[in-house]
């Protein structure tokens, strides 16, 4: 167990708020194919943050939170939006290497090994530890799935020379504006009369209709 310092307390509050916002904003964001997987990830992450805080397993909790933030993917997307294709490819490939090493290497060999074996020897048959480990294993399954998608996208980036579009999107919105031809309006004629009043107008001006001449 680790004493909860004030800075660590605020760090937990900020991270918990961030993942709650992600979970709710997912319903108003672009609908993606992995909606259920992302929603499961957010629920598991929120539960892990809360659970590690309540049980005072904050060392494992902070390591998980630290590992979750990778700015390289967002940077690669920004470079792609700015039409910097080579920079986008470089950032994405760097992200792929860091993600796979951290999720398939450091996470199972360091964090899971600690929670599954070392914590069990230190705490004994602590019931909450089983729930904690189940949630961590769910995260590892999600890591394997996302690693497969990343390797697939990285292979396409190397073979085709550019990062492919986000395969999770059901609907792709085009950034190019389509030119629309304005509708032609029917000619609208108004006829003025010298009178100050009329049945079809005001002050002698007809509105919305053409007049017919009387013979």
- Beta-bridged to residue 169, according to DSSP, are 32
pLDDT, mean over the chain: 75
Per-residue pLDDT band for 196 (boundaries 50, 70, 90) equals very low
What is the spatial distance between Cα 53 and Cα 44, in angstroms, rounded to a whole number?
14
- Give domain limits for the chain: 1-67, 68-165
**Which residues neighbour 136 within 8 Å (Cβ) at sequence distance 6 or greater?**
48, 64, 111, 112, 115
More confident residue, 152 or 179: 152
| pLDDT at site 165 | 57
Give residue 113's pLDDT. 87
Gap between the Cα atoms of 73 and 78, Å rounded: 9
Higher pLDDT, 174 or 88: 88
Residue-level pLDDT at 163: 60
Query: What distance in Å separates the CA atoms of residue 73 and residue 81, rounded to the nearest whole number?
Result: 12
**Band of pLDDT at residue 162, cut at 50, 70 and 90:** low
Lowest mean pLDDT among 7-11, 16-20, 188-192: 188-192
Highest mean pLDDT among 35-44, 138-147, 160-169, 173-182: 138-147
Q: Nearest to residue 111, comparing CAs of 139, 69, 83?
A: 139
**Sequence-ordered list of residues with C-beta below 8 angstroms from that of 126, at least 6 positions apart, any chain:** 119, 120
The model's pLDDT over 22-77, given as tens digits with 9 standing for 90+, comes to 888 888 888 777 788 888 888 998 998 888 888 888 887 887 787 766 788 889 88
> Could you give the 3-state DSSP secondary structure of residue 133?
helix
So what's the pLDDT on residue 143? 92
Q: What is the pTM of this model?
A: 0.67
Q: CA-to-CA distance for 106 and 112, rounded, in angstroms?
A: 9
What pLDDT does 69 receive? 65
Burial class (CB in 10 A: 0-12, 13-18, 19+), 8: middle
pLDDT-derived band at 119 (thresholds 50, 70, 90) equals confident
């Amino acid at each position: 167990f680790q004493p909860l310092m004030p800075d660590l307390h605020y760090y937990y509050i900020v991270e918990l708020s961030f993942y709650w916002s992600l979970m709710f904003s997912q319903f108003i964001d672009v609908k993606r194919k992995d909606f259920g997987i992302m929603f499961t990830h957010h629920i598991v992450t929120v539960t892990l943050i809360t659970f590690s805080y309540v049980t005072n397993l904050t060392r494992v909790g902070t390591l998980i939170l630290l590992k979750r933030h990778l700015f390289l993917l967002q940077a690669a997307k920004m470079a792609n939006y700015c039409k910097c294709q080579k920079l986008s490819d470089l950032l994405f490939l760097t992200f792929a290497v860091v993600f796979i090493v951290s999720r398939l290497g450091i996470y199972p060999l360091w964090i899971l090994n600690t929670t599954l074996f070392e914590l069990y020897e230190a705490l004994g048959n602590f019931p909450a530890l089983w729930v904690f480990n189940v949630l961590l294993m769910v995260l590892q399954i999600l890591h394997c799935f996302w690693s497969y998608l990343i390797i697939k996208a990285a292979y396409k980036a190397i073979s085709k020379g550019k990062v492919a579009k986000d395969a999770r999107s059901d609907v792709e919105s085009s950034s190019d504006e389509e030119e629309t031809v304005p509708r032609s309006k029917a000619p609208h004629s108004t006829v003025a009369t010298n009178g100050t009043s009329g049945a079809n107008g005001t002050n002698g001006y007809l509105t919305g209709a053409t007049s017919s001449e009387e013979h």
